[in-house]
Amino acid sequence: MTSASKTKTVFFIPASAEERTKSLAEKTKQVFQKLGLEREIEAGSFVAMKIHFGEKGNTGYIQPAWLSGIIKILNVQKARSFFTDTNTLYIGSRSNAVDHVKLAHGHGFAMNALGVPVIIADGLIGRDDDEVRVNLPRIESAKIASTFLNSDVLLCLSHFTGHIQTGFGAALKNLGMGCASRAGKLEQHSDVHLRIDPALCQNCKKCLDYCPADALVQEKKNVAILDEKCIGCGECMVVCSFGAVKWKWDGDDIRVQEKIAEYAFSVCRLFSGKAGFINFLLRITKNCDCMSKKGHSISADIGILGSRDPVALDQASVDLVLSQNKGDVLRKANDVDWEAQLRHAEKIGLGSRKYRLVTIS
């Protein structure tokens, strides 16, 4: 865990998505080397490269070829490296491991192309997790995908974008929401239990077989959820073929961001400093890469940043975006107090908002 009181170093190299792939791969490698994470990697160690593979139809995600330089370094270190992400809470092409891996391969993250496998961190349908006790104001125990608990080193690769609930998404969101199991995502997103929409429920009873808490009952026309038994795991949501299981989004943007920061804290504490973070400020869109279409740009390309402190990294990323555009384009895009995640992350000791920006020549 990093100290919140010290000024941290953030490395920066200017870049554009329009550059040749070879150039971007070289720049990404230079940022990675500056982090000094290589010294933490022993032969045979498991290196989890946390990334968002992009929703089907999305074009803004980090391009796999940009990471080829990093992969070569990891291969020299003889690390057991792999790309990883968790299944989504919502139904789609990333809500189960089979479809998720197929999508990743389709977007270029294929073993035969990169020599690195894709592992979905929370298992086939998002139930493979462990609890990490943190005893923080919003979260007592975070439900983290089990793969991260069994990894030795973490490299968090984040595409900086705007976000409808958090104002922006980068390292903190990639850690907090992105490393959580389905139950953990539900805990961060929602302030109430799930419900069944009677108009959509076909009373097929499939969800009853998956509920680990016996919180579902079959009524005459539809299935119903017993609130007093529901544990909020979300398994009924992913197995329902008719979209009948619904949840209410947490309307408090600050509360959501604070939960994300606390989940990010729980992930970072697993690695005892053996973690590095890289943000790509390229193709900066209004919404995140979960959108199944080409996103609307809110800023010109800026570059690639890296740090051993995720809070300093996200703060520096935001500052560069605002400076580039001479105004708060993040708040204008989504009308959210995006500073909440940074304030809370620093308050709980995840990292520091104070940083020194070092430009790589």
- Of the listed ranges 86-95, 110-119, 312-321, 334-343, the least confidently predicted one is 86-95
Q: Is residue 124 part of a domain?
A: yes
pLDDT (tens digit, 9 = 90+) per residue, 48-71? 999 999 999 999 999 999 999 999
User: Can you say whether residue 349 is alpha, beta or left, with left for phi > 0 and alpha for psi between -120 and 50 degrees?
Assistant: left
Within 10 Å of residue 58's Cβ, how many Cβ atoms?
A: 21
Per-residue confidence band for 91, with pLDDT thresholds at 50, 70 and 90: confident
Residues 226 and 297 placed together within one structural domain of the fold: no
Q: Is residue 2 part of a domain?
A: no
Instruction: Determine what percent of the chain is predicted with pLDDT higher than 90.
Output: 80
pLDDT for res 236: 85
Residues 198 and 181 placed together within one structural domain of the fold: no
Q: What is the Cα–Cα distance from 232 to 191, expressed in whole angstroms?
A: 10
Residue 331 near residue 167 (C-beta atoms within 8 A): yes
Instruction: Name the residue with tokens 């940009």.
Output: 66
Residues 259 and 302 placed together within one structural domain of the fold: yes
pLDDT for res 251: 64
Q: What is the Cα–Cα distance from 51 to 108, expressed in whole angstroms?
A: 13
Average the pLDDT over 264-288 and give the result: 96
Average the pLDDT over 201-210 and give the result: 93
* Alpha-carbon distances, residue 330 vs 48, 61, 300 (angstroms): 30, 18, 13
Residues 219 and 331 placed together within one structural domain of the fold: no
Beta bridge partners of 48: 82, 154
Residues of the domain holding 167: 8-188+252-359
Q: What is the Cα–Cα distance from 276 to 310, expressed in whole angstroms?
A: 8
Q: Whole-model pTM above 0.85?
A: yes
Per-residue confidence band for 193, with pLDDT thresholds at 50, 70 and 90: low
* Alpha-carbon distances, residue 197 vs 79, 163, 220, 223, 243 (angstroms): 48, 27, 14, 9, 8
CATH code of the domain in which 215 resides:
3.30.70.20
The kind and range of the H/E element at 260 are: helix 253-268
pLDDT for res 92: 83
Average the pLDDT over 313-325 and give the result: 97
Q: Is the per-residue pLDDT at 1 higher than 60?
A: no
pLDDT for res 293: 82
Average the pLDDT over 189-210 and give the result: 87
Within 10 Å of residue 210's Cβ, how many Cβ atoms?
A: 16
Residues 113 and 238 placed together within one structural domain of the fold: no
Per-residue confidence band for 249, with pLDDT thresholds at 50, 70 and 90: low
CA 130 to chain centre: 17
What mean pLDDT value characterizes the chain?
93
CA angle, corner 245, sides to 188 and 230, nearest 5? 60
Q: Is the per-residue pLDDT at 161 higher than 60?
A: yes
CATH code of the domain in which 144 resides:
3.40.50.11440
Q: Is the per-residue pLDDT at 191 higher than 60?
A: yes
pLDDT for res 52: 98
Residues 288 and 273 placed together within one structural domain of the fold: yes
Q: Is the per-residue pLDDT at 4 higher than 70?
A: no
User: Does residue 239 or residue 251 have the better pLDDT?
Assistant: 239
pLDDT for res 233: 72
Task: Tell me the one-letter amino acid at 91.
Answer: I
Q: What is the Cα–Cα distance from 188 to 180, expressed in whole angstroms?
A: 9
pLDDT (tens digit, 9 = 90+) per residue, 210-248? 887 899 999 999 999 998 888 767 778 778 889 899 876
Q: What is the Cα–Cα distance from 125 to 86, expressed in whole angstroms?
A: 9
Q: Is the per-residue pLDDT at 179 higher than 90?
A: yes
Instruction: Determine what percent of the chain is predicted with pLDDT higher than 70.
Output: 96
pLDDT for res 45: 97
Give the DSSP letter string of 247-310: -PBP--HHHHHHHHHHHHHHHHTTTTT-EEEEEEESS-BSS-TTSSSPPPB-S---EEEEES-H
Q: Supply 169's token pair.
A: 């998404």
Q: Is residue 1 part of a domain?
A: no
Q: How many structural domains does the chain have?
A: 2
Alpha-helical (H) ranges within the chain are 21-35, 68-76, 97-106, 111-114, 146-149, 171-176, 182-189, 206-210, 235-239, 253-268, 310-325, 329-334, 339-347
Q: Supply 214's token pair.
A: 């016996």
Q: Is the per-residue pLDDT at 3 higher than 70?
A: no
Per-residue confidence band for 252, with pLDDT thresholds at 50, 70 and 90: confident
Q: Is residue 265 part of a domain?
A: yes
Residue 236 phi, psi dihedral angles, 5° rounding: -65, -30
